[in-house]
Chains A and B, each alone.
Chain A
Amino acid sequence: MENLVKVTFSLNGRQVEAEVLPTMTVLEMIRRNFRLTAAKEGCGKGECGACTVLLNGEPVNSCLKLAASLTASDQVVTVEGLEKDATMQAIQSAFVSEGAVQCGFCIPGMTMTSYKLLQSNPNPDEHQIKQALSGNICRCTGYRKIEAAVKKASETRRNK
Chain B
Amino acid sequence: MSSISFFRPANISEACELLAKPNHLAVAGGTDLIVKLRNGLFPNAAALVDISALPFKAIRKEGDRLLIGSGCTMSNVIASPEVKEYFPALVKAASTVGATQIRNAATLGGNVANASPAGDTIPALFSLEAEVLIVGQTGKRKVAIDEFFTGPGRSVLKAGELIEGFALPLRKTAGEFFKLGERRAHAISKINLALSVFNDGQKRYRIAIGSAAPTVLRCKGAEELLEKAGEINEAIIEKAAEFACETAKPISDVRSSKSYRKQMAGVLLKRALKAII
Chain A residues with CB under 8 Å of chain B are: 1-3, 5, 21-23, 25, 44-47, 49, 52, 55, 58-61, 63-66, 68-69, 71, 113, 116, 130-132, 134-136
Q: List 16 A-B contacts (CB under 8 A).
A: A2-B2, A3-B4, A3-B5, A22-B48, A23-B37, A23-B48, A45-B35, A47-B186, A55-B104, A59-B104, A61-B101, A66-B50, A113-B101, A131-B185, A135-B101, A135-B185
Chain A's nearest CB lies how many Å from the CB of B184? 8
In the assembled complex, the Cα of A64 lies from the Cα of B8 at a distance in Å of 17
Chain A residues with CB below 8 A from B105, complex form: 55, 60-61, 64-65
Q: Are B185 and A64 in contact, with the CB atoms below 8 A?
A: no
Q: Are A64 and B34 in contact, with the CB atoms below 8 A?
A: yes
Chain A residues with CB below 8 A from B30, complex form: 64-66, 69
> B50, B75, B101: which contacts A46 (Cβ < 8 A)?
B101
How many residue pairs at the A-B interface have CB separations less than 8 Å?
91
A20 to chain B: closest residue by CB: B6
Q: Are A66 and B4 in contact, with the CB atoms below 8 A?
A: no
| Given known A-B contacts A59-B101, A113-B100, A64 and B5 have beta carbons under 8 A apart | no
Q: Are A25 and B50 in contact, with the CB atoms below 8 A?
A: no
B186 to chain A: closest residue by CB: A134
In the assembled complex, the Cα of A25 lies from the Cα of B4 at a distance in Å of 14
In the assembled complex, the Cα of A29 lies from the Cα of B102 at a distance in Å of 19
B3 within 8 A of A: yes
Q: Identify which of A25, A68, A116 gathers the most chain B CB atoms within 10 Å of its CB.
A: A68
> B37, B53, B99: which contacts A49 (Cβ < 8 A)?
B99
Q: Are A46 and B31 in contact, with the CB atoms below 8 A?
A: yes
Q: Are A68 and B104 in contact, with the CB atoms below 8 A?
A: no
In the assembled complex, the Cα of A113 lies from the Cα of B103 at a distance in Å of 13
Q: Are A49 and B6 in contact, with the CB atoms below 8 A?
A: no
Q: Are B38 and A44 in contact, with the CB atoms below 8 A?
A: yes
B52 within 8 A of A: yes
Chain B residues with CB below 8 A from A55, complex form: 104-105
In the assembled complex, the Cα of A130 lies from the Cα of B105 at a distance in Å of 20
Q: Are A69 and B50 in contact, with the CB atoms below 8 A?
A: yes
Task: Beyond A22-B5, A23-B48, A49-B99, list 11 extra A-B contacts (CB 8 Å).
Answer: A3-B4, A22-B47, A23-B1, A46-B98, A46-B102, A61-B102, A64-B102, A68-B48, A69-B50, A113-B101, A135-B101
| Given known A-B contacts A46-B102, A49-B99, A135-B102, A25 and B52 have beta carbons under 8 A apart | no
Q: What 0/1 readout, one digit per residue, does chain B (97-127) give for beta carbons within 8 Å of chain A? A: 0111110110000000000000000000000
Q: Are A1 and B101 in contact, with the CB atoms below 8 A?
A: no
Q: Are B98 and A135 in contact, with the CB atoms below 8 A?
A: yes
Chain A residues with CB below 8 A from B99, complex form: 49, 134-136
B184 to chain A: closest residue by CB: A134
Chain B residues with CB below 8 A from A113, complex form: 100-101
Closest 3 CB pairs of A and B: A135-B99, A134-B185, A22-B6
In the assembled complex, the Cα of A23 lies from the Cα of B45 at a distance in Å of 11
In the assembled complex, the Cα of A21 lies from the Cα of B3 at a distance in Å of 9
B102 to chain A: closest residue by CB: A46
Chain B's nearest CB lies how many Å from the CB of A43? 9
Chain B residues with CB below 8 A from A21, complex form: 4
Q: Identify which of B37, B102, B104 gathers the most chain A CB atoms within 10 Å of its CB.
A: B104
Q: Are B34 and A22 in contact, with the CB atoms below 8 A?
A: no
Q: Are A61 and B31 in contact, with the CB atoms below 8 A?
A: yes
Which residues of B83-100 have CB atoms within 8 Å of chain A's CB atoms?
98-100
B157 within 8 A of A: no
Chain B residues with CB below 8 A from A59, complex form: 100-101, 104
Q: Are A132 and B8 in contact, with the CB atoms below 8 A?
A: no
Q: Are A66 and B27 in contact, with the CB atoms below 8 A?
A: yes
Q: Are A52 and B101 in contact, with the CB atoms below 8 A?
A: yes
In the assembled complex, the Cα of A23 lies from the Cα of B48 at a distance in Å of 8
Chain B's nearest CB lies how many Å from the CB of A2? 6
Q: Are B101 and A60 in contact, with the CB atoms below 8 A?
A: yes
Chain B residues with CB below 8 A from A65, complex form: 30, 34, 105
Q: Are B38 and A60 in contact, with the CB atoms below 8 A?
A: no
